[in-house]
Structure 1
Amino acid sequence: MKLVVSDLDGTLLNQNSQISDETRNAIRKLIENGVDFAIATGRGIGSVRAFKERIGHDIYLICNNGANIYNKNEEVIFERVMSSEVIEKLIKYFREKKVTYNGFYQKNLFTDEGTKESVLTIETGFNFVKLKEAETFPFMTKMIVKDDPEVIRHLRDDMKDQFSHLVDITISQPRCLDIVDKDCSKGKGIKLISQKLNIPLENIMAFGDGENDFDMLQAVGHPVVMENGLDSLKEKIKNRAPKNTDNGVAKYLEEFFSL
């Protein structure tokens, strides 16, 4: 393997949403042994940067489920936004269904006027913008909805029936639905990085636990599902790492690469 790619929440991060000392040390040894490392996440760059600094090496970052991809110098090498026309369709749908959403574009965080306070819990440093019914619809990089798992599953299925030709809709965590442009995914992000680094996909290992990890796990030569991952992933992929709460990525890397 020449490149290892890992999801963050439920995978690389522990129960405190942190990279443990064991995991950090394993990644550092991996990189020092000549294997590249990258993060692939539904989070934006503002949230991901601290984890990159924790690792202590310059690495590629696949953010917002592939809508934003950065090289080792944090220069944008790919970006895709949802047009205002697509956003209008989505927001009108959410308003009709009385769904509270967050949307992102650059430094702006959007939600609707009159809805409950932002459901956002993982990002900071945004300009909070409340939209009104008559307001022009902005571009957005990503939209998220947070609710009970049953509500999220129903919403995912209903939205796929109506909008799959426009956007990519995945459950990143049981309580979180992610929406990005239809040409974005973690898998497509890995393919781009593999070309940049001239590393064949069969020489790439990837770790994930959620629905938004499936296409990247399918894309690589050595996919690994966390023990705490979705049953639907574990049914399709045999390689298994211990739970994220047990430093599963670190333990798998230490054994596989003899770190």
Structure 2
Amino acid sequence: MTYQALAFFDLDGTLLDGQSKITPEITKAMHQLKQNNVLPIIATGRTEVEIQQIRQAAGITSNIVMNGAFIRIDGEEVYNEKITTDVSQRMIAATEKNNHALSFYNHGAYWATKHDDNTIRAYAHIHSHLPEINPNGYQTEDVNMLLVLSQEGDAYYHEQFPELTFYRNGPFSIDIVNKGTSKGSAVSHLKQLMDVENIPTFGFGDGNNDFALLEACDNKIAMGNAIDGLKDIADFVTKKNTDGGIVHALKHFDLI
């Protein structure tokens, strides 16, 4: 299929409402995009197993997940970047030293070293199920992303793991991927893989891990509820995610 444009959407605070749900208005807008030959693509720090219902509700079959570590286009896996077993082992030791839990992610599952109060808060915050406890799962399963469940200690992890990139996207956890991996790097990979270097791209976001996404897109859209820095680099600041911001922006750019 020949696409006229690509539209990349963060989830929490962007495509989703205040209860982390897809509204009927968003579902309608995504169908209109596809009718207009614009490919809607979810771009999130979450993994696929956490967004299956969201994808189905929105009618979206393409996604960048785990902050750029895994890409699926029109239902087909096209990119899969892994974290080494050695890094996972070292991160377990570091989190144990700081009495933090650690979660492991691949495109089909996620699991953790333990459950504690902060872990429960972290997954409740994004309306996701608690991970199963499986401290040794990284030895037999692929790992694309790690999650330190903590409210502090960022500087320690940054210093101990210079080969990794860290995204604190909420008060209870830090997303961790390989150095240089981001939603923005995934946009570049995707365009090369699809051979669509010359069609316009639109990026929609609200948080820290959306800087690279917006910077990689031709048209940068920040939500009305976005952090100030993201608004500063945006071409257009739309309404809040809870006030029809996505539909407002899509109409502004004549995408629907």
Question: In the TM superposition, what are the counterparts of 1:160-239 in structure 2 within 5 Å?
Answer: 160-164=158-162, 166-200=163-197, 203-239=200-236
Amino acid at match of 1:187: G
**Number of aligned residues:** 246
Which residue among 68, 71, 80 is the counterpart of 1:69? 71
**Is residue 48–residue 108 contact of structure 2 (8 Å, CA) maintained in 1?**
no
**Is residue 47–residue 106 contact of structure 2 (8 Å, CA) maintained in 1?**
no
How far the C-alpha of 1:91 sits from its partner, in A, is: 1.3
Query: Separation in 1 of the partners of 2:24 and 2:109?
Result: 33
Q: Percent identity?
A: 25
Classify 1:108/1:20 alpha carbon distance in 2 versus 1 (closer, same or farther; 3 Å). closer
How far the C-alpha of 1:100 sits from its partner, in A, is: 2.0
Structural RMSD (CA): 2.5
Question: In the TM superposition, what are the counterparts of 1:98-109 in structure 2 within 5 Å?
Answer: 98-105=99-106, 108-109=109-110
Query: Separation in 2 of the partners of 1:161 and 1:130?
Result: 27
- Secondary structure, counterpart of 1:232 in structure 2: helix
**Is residue 85–residue 138 contact of structure 2 (8 Å, CA) maintained in 1?**
yes
**Is residue 14–residue 247 contact of structure 1 (8 Å, CA) maintained in 2?**
no
**Is residue 169–residue 180 contact of structure 1 (8 Å, CA) maintained in 2?**
yes
Query: Separation in 1 of the partners of 2:243 and 2:21?
Result: 12
**Is residue 65–residue 185 contact of structure 1 (8 Å, CA) maintained in 2?**
yes
Gaps of 5+ in 1: none
**Is residue 48–residue 107 contact of structure 2 (8 Å, CA) maintained in 1?**
no
- Secondary structure, counterpart of 2:78 in structure 1: strand
- Secondary structure, counterpart of 1:101 in structure 2: strand
- Secondary structure, counterpart of 1:37 in structure 2: strand
How far the C-alpha of 1:60 sits from its partner, in A, is: 1.8
Query: Separation in 2 of the partners of 1:239 and 1:157?
Result: 33
Match of 2:112 in 1: 111
TM-score (norm 1): 0.84
